[in-house]
Amino acid sequence: MHTRLYRNGVLEKEGFPVEEVSDHVADPENVVWFDLCAPTPEQLGVISEELGLHELAVEDVLSDHQRPKVDVYDNHLFITVYGLYSENDRLVPVEVNVFVTGNALVTVRENDHFDIGGVVRRWDAASRMACHGVTFLLHGLLDYVVDQHFDLVQDLDGKVEAMEEGLFVQGIRESRQLQHSMYLLRRDTTKLRRVTFPMREVIGTLLRRDQDLIADPVMKPYYEDVHDHVLRVIEWVESIRDMLANVRETRLSQQGFRLNEIMKRVTSWAAIIAVPTAITGFYGQNVPYPGSGDPLGFWTSSVLVALASSGLYAVFKKKDWL
């Protein structure tokens, strides 16, 4: 369990028990942060009583797979965002719920796959801004989440570009690998889109003028910068979706073209084979025919087969059907 106490912009204490939170929060000069990882309903109940959290917000924490959002209550904000991590070549979202009061920030993680240490390091790197209290802590958390989304969408973009370069690989094995990779990328892009698109609304709500808890004019440009990053991520995700759609359409066009090429070749060879079959079938009739019972008939049929087959092959080859 992670806890921190800031007083007048200076980190005074960390690692203290959660039971001391209510004592520290009682002093308006203090700013407290503590983190819970997969807490029990009893633990959430204690925190709810100490900070006066709304029961609906606590209920949302216990409910899985909430949409990224901001709920505004009388004395606090409730925010839901998602981090992402890679497992077995697939993206897995991690829900992070945040309670924001006047001088306390509570993060509740679904599991430990969300690196809260990265958020702490970001706070320490910009410790000069700690005097802005909860707005500073919340900005560091949101900035870390959005930067994580940005890194993931950049990685997906590189994979899609590599896929585009491998579109014209002709091998069957490579073709199957390409199709499998395309499916995985479309799935990951859909997951990333699901958690990044609502972030525009989340940051936009925090930037509203009537939002009292995030009213620090000094921190507003920092939140606007996060909002700009969110818009860039959204645009990039849409661009990747368009690229994947183009790759898919190109792939289908290639398959149609190759099928057409195969059909032309099969049809051409069938036509070539049909001519000698017709000729030899004609000469195999049980009725008199020119050259019947004479070696001339055999040589005539053989010459006709050779000339007709060669002529058809030359014609199809000239038309690039073979």
Annotated domain spans of the chain: 2-255, 267-318
The model carries a pTM of 0.78
Task: Kindly state the average pLDDT of the residues 295-307.
Answer: 76
> How confident is the prediction for the chain on average, in pLDDT?
84
Q: Hey, what are 160's tokens?
A: 């899609």
Instruction: Please indicate whether residue 164 or residue 37 has the higher confidence score (pLDDT).
Output: 37
Work out the average pLDDT over 63-86: 89
Residue with tokens 């997969």: 38
The pLDDT of 231-256, averaged and rounded, is: 85
For the residues 125-147, what does the mean pLDDT come to? 93
Instruction: Give the pLDDT score at 244.
Output: 86
Question: In this structure, which topology does domain 2-255 adopt according to CATH?
Answer: Beta Polymerase; domain 2 (3.30.460)
* C-alpha angle 267-271-276 in degrees, rounded to nearest 5: 150
The phi-psi region of residue 290 (left if phi > 0; otherwise alpha if psi is between -120 and 50; otherwise beta) is beta
Helix (H) or strand (E) segment spanning residue 35 = strand 30-37
Q: Where are the alpha helices (DSSP H) in 95-171?
A: 116-125, 134-165
Express each pLDDT in 137-192 by its tens digit.
999 999 999 999 999 999 988 888 888 777 776 555 666 777 778 888 888 898 99
Ranked by mean pLDDT, which of 84-88, 146-150, 245-249 comes out on top?
146-150
CB contact at 8 A, 199 and 68: yes
- pLDDT > 90 in the chain, percent: 36
Say what angle helices 134-165 and 116-125 make with each other, to 10 degrees: 120
